[in-house]
Structure 1
Amino acid sequence: MRRLARIGAVALSAALLFSGCNANPELGSKGASQTPQSSQKGGTLNILTAQTEISFDPAKSQSLAITSLGLVNRRLTTWDISPDQPAKVVPDLATDIGKATDGGKTWTYTLKDGLKYDDGSPITSADIKYGLERSFAAELSGGLGYHKGLLVGGDKYKGPYSGGELSSIETPDDKTIVFKLNSPYGDWPWVASTPAFTPVPKAKDDPNTYGEKPAASGPYKVESYQQGVALNLTRNDSWDPKTDDVRTAGPDKIIFKLSQDPTVAAQALISDSGDAKNSFGAQFVPAAQLAQAQKDPNVKGRLVTSQPGALSYLAFNTTRGALKDVKVRQALQYAADRQAYKIAAGGSISGENATTLITPGIPGRQEYDLYPAPDSGDMAKAKKLLAATGHASDLKLTLVTSNDPIALAQSQALQQGFAKAGVKITLQPLDSNALSEKVTGNKGDYDLYLGSWQPDFPSPNGNIQPLFDSSQIGNGNYNTSRYSNPEVDKMIKQAIGEVDQDKAGQLWAEVDKKIMEDAPIIPLTYTKNSFLHGSNVQNFFIGAFPAYPNYLKVTLKQ
């Protein structure tokens, strides 16, 4: 994601294939380079990504509902993303977003008529049950797992390869599926839009190879895959557009071109010649090319910038040394030089200053600022507050960060800002795997961590619970501040169980402010993501959430 960036929920990394707000002023408020037009059919669309491999196995995926896997794999529910409307959860394979009973502990879905795989065989509720069950298997790790702790018995279930069936998923007939939860969960319709809720026919399942050519339920199927080179999609003739309100299925073919250097890819899109005319970049535009694109009137109209989205933040390891003291953490809030931090990422187009944990575009968000300071920080106040804690001149901390050039430059900007407040920061750059292991593992041997977080779905739950619930410390989870507050845990549980979304929003806003009183992180910016596309690419836009293009609507000029 990775910045490490987002090691969880949809990490926002410069090379992410999207496995997570003012638009660019010149592009208007829609975050789009043109108003969406009527669907046009035909052509070959190229998607340029730095990834060297890609799997379409839904059990292993963190892909957003509107990006790569959404072209091939449908889910029980999905997202309706448009340029100028809030994100909505809508039916996909199901007839509605779910019917809640038993106070929100039981959710029932009915499948639409006429659903088929690419081989013409029918999609059944048993296939969705099996697809979800296989996501519990150790052989298929890496996917989103919100459902695992929610389904009754999910904490002990080991998957279908060794553990039989999960009885809390019931299929009374071929078109009905029922989920039994441990406790009420108001965001279950959003959870049902995650990749694991894709149907998988048991007869076609090979956990070692399924991701290379899965049973397609969407408008495209995987035609061929060469690791490190390309993955080719062609039309699924069994897909019925009458059952699908969110996918346009414009191009005849879609080619994911792998192992693309971000700088080279951006330069090709700027040049807009040959295949680049029919291409777009899946990775963020590097700072140098971003500046170049903004200055060139022939390119500026093909640069699409999201509204403020993912939260970039500096996490304090609240279990380490002086950082155990909430007064120290509060003092350090004033030492962040957000101005230099943004400049390192390309300037104001890279994001807007953050003060809350719930990010823009999420219903229920309330704005506040507990630690007001100039963009460059308030070093005098930071020094004064640190002096009151007895750490005015002896505070030395280690910051672990990605070795990605932009993340490293941002870390250096923060390092220099903290030095002005008398705090010495030593940087420890790591590659994405080592960084993820260090901050999500059980040792907790770091002081500070620079990360970024894109929720997996537009609910405050996606901002708060993964990062601040004490159950999410270590064991591969993402509470990187190792923050533990029993009162906050209780508040999170209450908000999660509220089915009424307006009431839930108010509860989450209270949780947000309560956590920031304890200052386990410094919210830095709500990041903006910029993407380039070729001149023949149409209907390329970014909604209020998420801060990524909607692949499902893209067409080519004919």
Structure 2
Amino acid sequence: MTRRIHAGLAAAIAATLTLGLAACSSHESSGDGGTDGGSGITTAGDGIIGGTPVKGGTLHVLSNQDFSQLDPTRNWVEPEMDFGIRTLYRTLTTFKAAPGAQGLQIVPDLATDLGTPSDGAKTWTFHLKDGLKYEDGSPIVADDIKYNVERSFSPDLPGGPNYAKQYLNAPAGYAGPLHGQRLGPEAIEVPDAKTIIFHLKRPVAEFGYTVTLPTFAPVPIAKEAGANYSNHPFSSGPYKIQTYDRGKQLVLVRNPYWDPATDPVRKAYPDKIVVDQTLGSAGIADRLIASQGDDQDAIAYTDLAPAKVPDVITNPDVKSRLVSENENCTTMLTMDNSKPPFDNKNLRLAVEYAIDKQAFQSSVGGPALADIATTYLPPELTGGKAVDHFGIPVGGDLDKAKQYLAQAGMSGGLSTEITVSTGQRQQAEAIQASLKKININVTINTLDASVVNSVVGDKKTQTGLAITGWCPDYPSGATFLPMLFDSRVIVDTGNQGNMSRFKDPSVDTEMDRIAGLSDVNAANAAWLALDGKIMDSAPTVPLTWQKKPLLVGTNIAGASASPIWSGQIDYATVGLKSVK
């Protein structure tokens, strides 16, 4: 199929495919259908498929990959955060389980409230609820949360959220409890079993949102297993691990000591959750379209394969079982700025102008499944309207690209490599074809999706190019640009934030200045201005703002896309219509 036909098909799909609201928007879907406030895409009802689930039965989750991490210290990949936080562990606060704008609201989880700030929001105090227990019936205590936060500093446990490292008043060089070190009261106080007090380096007015992250889930010291903890995180949530055969199947069963009276968010409808990790994306789509046997009780963990979109939208019954929201994430072509050849800004700008974003958009399913990105911050973080920083035509500007290539002293071209998951092969080929036009020859390396992040995040194995993405951890520019471009978050191994290894001291300084602003509107404007400044250095190329299409079986109820976790089905509320 040629790109022209593919793009035309995708445009036709976009005209009929029912999609939900963009994540992190300031509005919610109307109760009886409507528009999403400007995109021209129709929204469906309340965004929930199948009504209210019944208690019981087995929910099947069909996936083409293992989880890269279920250790709450290291879980910073979508949609693994949604799965872990909603099933296996609880955090101090969490997001409501609701589609649209309601799902952007935080509520108490392990804590009794959203936290009490003092000392100008440099100190935050949380109190734990009564009756909180682990899967063995032992009590959850405040020191367990402190311990997990301390683990996030460990170089032996890389890859997780780094907000604690950024915010806490921890001593320089602190390496975590695996190295025999606990944080002192200058960083975290635990005056009793139900109180935890965080002392921050600077005011953080949104710290109540920060503690929704899995870093702020409890881990008991007695269950420490280092890098192997991911194989069996000790449950504080409604489910516990029964069996986990890595790369094949994960089986969760009820945690008998989870008390729903302490947890108004997680409904925990199914008795059991079985995650099959051995399938291909096309096979998952075929099974859910047919919806036979156990597949009636199944949901997709993997996005709908673009080739299967016509099969879905032309069948009203199947189309009615499609959950699809804007992911509120930016997909990027990341260049390793730390070494040649991409330490040359003019070369990076040549790549910026050479990329045919329309071809890339087609490779991920066309306009029905992705919008073309024109800046790093998604529209939900720029006032709801996309910003086009460079004004480059969607097909690229080869003349301008060649000019920058000449300024880089590389008119004769060059060769490089791109590392992607097996499922991103077609996307990589779109990049390869674009860069070939300016004599940049790209070799494609494909890896299993579960290991791509570790390879690209290792300074020794990172290739010149990679396809990466970023989603805000909560609705704030502070959770986007600093994670992508602050040089102080870069680590040699387990690098999950600044994947381009971009370093600009003036950018770091401006991030610190914005972080200290108390006026939200001023901060938003400053983040947008900084976005443009970074774009001028072209450390990465924004490609698309993805939508997340997920099919469910005919016996699924309570399925809705989380506006926080990149449009993933919210495991807090999904279940079965009936139990056979």
Which residue number corresponds to residue 40 of structure 1? Answer: 54
Supply the distance in 2 between the matched residues of 1:372 and 1:142 (Cα, whole angstroms).
34
Aligned partners of 1:313 and 1:524 also within 8 Å: yes
Is residue 2:567 matched to residue 1:550? no
Which residue number corresponds to residue 4 of structure 1? Answer: none
Supply the distance in 1 between the matched residues of 2:276 and 2:576 (Cα, whole angstroms).
17
Superposition pairs for residues 378-457 of structure 1, below 5 Å? Answer: 378-383=397-402, 389=407, 393-405=411-423, 407-420=424-437, 422-431=438-447, 436=453, 439-442=456-459, 446-457=463-474
Supply the distance in 2 between the matched residues of 1:430 and 1:215 (Cα, whole angstroms).
33
Which residue number corresponds to residue 207 of structure 2? Answer: 188
**RMSD of equivalent CA atoms:** 3.2
Shift of 1:327: 4.8
Which region of structure 1 is more displaced relative to structure 2, 476-485 or 513-522? 476-485
Which residue number corresponds to residue 197 of structure 1? Answer: 216
Which region of structure 1 is more displaced relative to structure 2, 362-371 or 455-464? 362-371
Supply the distance in 2 between the matched residues of 1:210 and 1:390 (Cα, whole angstroms).
47
Supply the distance in 2 between the matched residues of 1:372 and 1:483 (Cα, whole angstroms).
23
SS in 2 for 1:401: strand
Between the aligned residues of both structures, percent identity stands at 35
TM value normalised by structure 1: 0.85
SS in 1 for 2:326: coil
Which region of structure 1 is more displaced relative to structure 2, 175-184 or 395-404? 395-404
Supply the distance in 1 between the matched residues of 2:476 and 2:327 (Cα, whole angstroms).
16
Which region of structure 1 is more displaced relative to structure 2, 199-208 or 331-340? 199-208
Which region of structure 1 is more displaced relative to structure 2, 164-173 or 322-331? 322-331
Which AA in structure 2 matches 1:400?
Answer: I
Closer, same or farther: CA 428–208 of 1 in aligned 2, 3 Å: closer
SS in 2 for 1:315: strand
Closer, same or farther: CA 31–59 of 1 in aligned 2, 3 Å: farther
Which residue number corresponds to residue 315 of structure 1? Answer: 334
Which region of structure 1 is more displaced relative to structure 2, 288-297 or 360-369? 360-369
Q: 1:488 aligns with which of 507, 514, 531?
A: 507
Superposition pairs for residues 53-72 of structure 1, below 5 Å? Answer: 56-62=70-76, 65-72=81-88
Which AA in structure 2 matches 1:395?
Answer: G
Shift of 1:218: 1.8
Which residue number corresponds to residue 6 of structure 1? Answer: none
Closer, same or farther: CA 542–515 of 1 in aligned 2, 3 Å: same
Shift of 1:552: 0.9
Which residue number corresponds to residue 87 of structure 1? Answer: 104
Shift of 1:337: 1.0
Q: 2:63 aligns with which of 49, 71, 77?
A: 49
Which region of structure 1 is more displaced relative to structure 2, 36-45 or 512-521? 36-45
Which AA in structure 2 matches 1:464?
Answer: L
Closer, same or farther: CA 381–159 of 1 in aligned 2, 3 Å: closer
Which residue number corresponds to residue 165 of structure 2? Answer: 148
The superposition leaves residues 21-54 of structure 1 with CA deviations (integer Å, 9 ceiling, x where unpaired) of 888x999436986457345322211112223467
Supply the distance in 2 between the matched residues of 1:254 and 1:175 (Cα, whole angstroms).
31
Supply the distance in 2 between the matched residues of 1:319 and 1:227 (Cα, whole angstroms).
34
Supply the distance in 1 between the matched residues of 2:421 and 2:194 (Cα, whole angstroms).
49
Which residue number corresponds to residue 174 of structure 1? Answer: 193
Shift of 1:525: 0.6
Closer, same or farther: CA 79–490 of 1 in aligned 2, 3 Å: same
Which region of structure 1 is more displaced relative to structure 2, 236-245 or 41-50? 236-245
Aligned partners of 1:344 and 1:410 also within 8 Å: yes
Is residue 2:150 matched to residue 1:133? yes
Which residue number corresponds to residue 485 of structure 2? Answer: 468
Closer, same or farther: CA 391–268 of 1 in aligned 2, 3 Å: same
Supply the distance in 1 between the matched residues of 2:403 and 2:552 (Cα, whole angstroms).
49
Closer, same or farther: CA 437–234 of 1 in aligned 2, 3 Å: closer
Which AA in structure 1 matches 2:177?
Answer: P
Superposition pairs for residues 316-395 of structure 1, below 5 Å? Answer: 316-318=335-337, 323-324=342-343, 326-362=345-381, 367-383=386-402, 389=407, 393-395=411-413
Which residue number corresponds to residue 15 of structure 1? Answer: none
Which AA in structure 2 matches 1:266?
Answer: A
Superposition pairs for residues 204-283 of structure 1, below 5 Å? Answer: 204-207=223-226, 210-283=229-302
Shift of 1:146: 2.5
Q: 2:89 aligns with which of 66, 73, 94?
A: 73
Aligned partners of 1:31 and 1:305 also within 8 Å: no
Flag structure 1 segments of 5+ consecutive residues without an equivalent.
Answer: 1-19
The superposition leaves residues 493-551 of structure 1 with CA deviations (integer Å, 9 ceiling, x where unpaired) of 12234455444323322221221122222211111221111011112111433221111
SS in 1 for 2:82: coil
Aligned partners of 1:31 and 1:541 also within 8 Å: no
Which AA in structure 1 matches 2:43?
Answer: S
Shift of 1:277: 0.4
Which residue number corresponds to residue 505 of structure 1? Answer: 524
Which region of structure 1 is more displaced relative to structure 2, 124-133 or 323-332? 323-332
SS in 2 for 1:307: strand
Shift of 1:351: 0.7
Aligned partners of 1:224 and 1:231 also within 8 Å: yes
Aligned partners of 1:277 and 1:535 also within 8 Å: yes
SS in 1 for 2:100: coil
Closer, same or farther: CA 469–401 of 1 in aligned 2, 3 Å: same
Which AA in structure 1 matches 2:572?
Answer: L
SS in 2 for 1:59: coil
Supply the distance in 1 between the matched residues of 2:344 and 2:176 (Cα, whole angstroms).
43
Flag structure 2 segments of 5+ consecutive residues without an equivalent.
Answer: 1-23, 26-34
Q: 2:316 aligns with which of 297, 311, 315?
A: 297
Closer, same or farther: CA 181–341 of 1 in aligned 2, 3 Å: same
Which region of structure 1 is more displaced relative to structure 2, 86-95 or 311-320? 311-320
Aligned partners of 1:363 and 1:459 also within 8 Å: no
Which AA in structure 2 matches 1:90?
Answer: V
Supply the distance in 2 between the matched residues of 1:169 and 1:204 (Cα, whole angstroms).
21
Supply the distance in 1 between the matched residues of 2:366 and 2:571 (Cα, whole angstroms).
27
Which residue number corresponds to residue 12 of structure 1? Answer: none
